[in-house]
């Protein structure tokens, strides 16, 4: 479906894009700080699931709606921003663990599927990502080579695999550093404040982004 030259060019471009720090990087770092390597890895899988959804949406033409409709773009943008701000406020309002509790703080025990779903929503509710996919992936798609949606999905899989490797390495590194921090209530309080601050900052950043 793809010739070797196209695949090499796409893989090189995708690798460069993945290595450039962005909102996804901040999300992985915040989750890893809050709950360690495992939670960071769960967040990474969620974000890359969103990558596949965006790739498939671009192939089906759904992303074109966000690119051409100002109203659709604004609705998705503010929904995503509100969701991120809500997560930040929620992190700030979490209570300190009781002195008699053993083990990690409640934030670290967040169920895996919650972290995953939050990460998927965070990635999907970013219209700038959808518009980016609509602009980037078609450069490597050739309708003469077969089903266009399948080509978009395969390109998304490659990008997702590269992104997942990078995110897992980042989660491991941040989680390893986090394990060396003391688990005192004061430390956990600051971890939640930092995490909440990152979420709110990401939400405000998304809310102020322009469509063009």
Asked, for residue 1, whether it belongs to a domain, the answer is no
Asked, for residue 212, whether it belongs to a domain, the answer is no
Q: What pLDDT, on the 0 to 100 scale, is given for residue 176?
A: 81
Question: For residue 111, what are the contacts with CB-CB under 8 A and spacing of at least 6?
Answer: none
DSSP labels, 62-112: THHHHHH-HHHHHHHHHHHHHHHHHHHHHHHHPPPPPTT--SS-GGGG--H
What Cα–Cα distance (Å) separates residue 117 from each residue in 50, 114, 176? Answer: 10, 5, 24
Asked, for residue 8, whether it belongs to a domain, the answer is no
Q: What pLDDT, on the 0 to 100 scale, is given for residue 206?
A: 67
Q: What pLDDT, on the 0 to 100 scale, is given for residue 211?
A: 58
Q: What pLDDT, on the 0 to 100 scale, is given for residue 2?
A: 77
- Report the number of distinct structural domains present in the chain: 1
Q: What pLDDT, on the 0 to 100 scale, is given for residue 1?
A: 67
Asked, for residue 13, whether it belongs to a domain, the answer is no
Reported as a single tens digit per residue, the pLDDT across 185-195 is 566 666 667 76
Q: What pLDDT, on the 0 to 100 scale, is given for residue 99?
A: 43
Asked, for residue 156, whether it belongs to a domain, the answer is yes
Q: Is 107 in contact with 94 (CB distance < 8 Å)?
A: yes
Q: What pLDDT, on the 0 to 100 scale, is given for residue 40?
A: 92
Q: What are the residue ranges in the chain where pLDDT is below 50?
A: 97-108, 182
Asked, for residue 45, whether it belongs to a domain, the answer is yes
Q: What pLDDT, on the 0 to 100 scale, is given for residue 158?
A: 93
Q: What pLDDT, on the 0 to 100 scale, is given for residue 181?
A: 53
Asked, for residue 116, whether it belongs to a domain, the answer is yes
Q: How many CB atoms lie within 10 A of CB 63?
A: 24
Domain around 165:
23-207
Give pTM, 2 decimals: 0.69
Asked, for residue 188, whether it belongs to a domain, the answer is yes
Question: For residue 188, what are the contacts with CB-CB under 8 A and spacing of at least 6?
Answer: 96, 97, 105, 107
Q: What pLDDT, on the 0 to 100 scale, is given for residue 108?
A: 43
């Amino acid at each position: 479906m793809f010739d070797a030259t196209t695949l090499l060019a796409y893989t090189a471009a995708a690798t460069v894009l993945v290595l450039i720090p962005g909102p996804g990087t901040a999300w992985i770092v915040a989750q890893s700080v809050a709950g360690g390597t495992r939670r960071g890895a769960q967040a990474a899988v969620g974000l890359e699931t969103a990558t596949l959804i965006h790739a498939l949406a671009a192939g089906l033409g759904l992303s074109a709606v966000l690119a051409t409709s100002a109203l659709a773009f604004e609705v998705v943008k503010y929904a995503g921003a509100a969701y991120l701000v809500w997560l930040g406020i929620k992190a700030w309002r979490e209570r300190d663990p009781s002195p008699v509790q053993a083990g990690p703080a409640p934030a670290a025990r967040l169920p895996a599927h919650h972290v995953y779903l939050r990460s998927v929503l965070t990635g999907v509710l970013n219209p700038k990502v959808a518009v980016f996919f609509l602009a980037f992936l078609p450069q490597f798609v050739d309708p003469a080579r077969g089903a266009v949606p399948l080509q978009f999905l395969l390109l998304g899989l490659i990008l997702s695999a590269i992104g997942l490797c990078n995110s897992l390495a980042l989660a491991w590194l941040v989680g390893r550093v986090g394990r060396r921090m003391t688990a005192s209530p004061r430390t956990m309080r600051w971890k939640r404040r930092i995490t909440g601050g990152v979420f709110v900052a990401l939400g405000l950043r998304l809310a102020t982004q322009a469509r063009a």
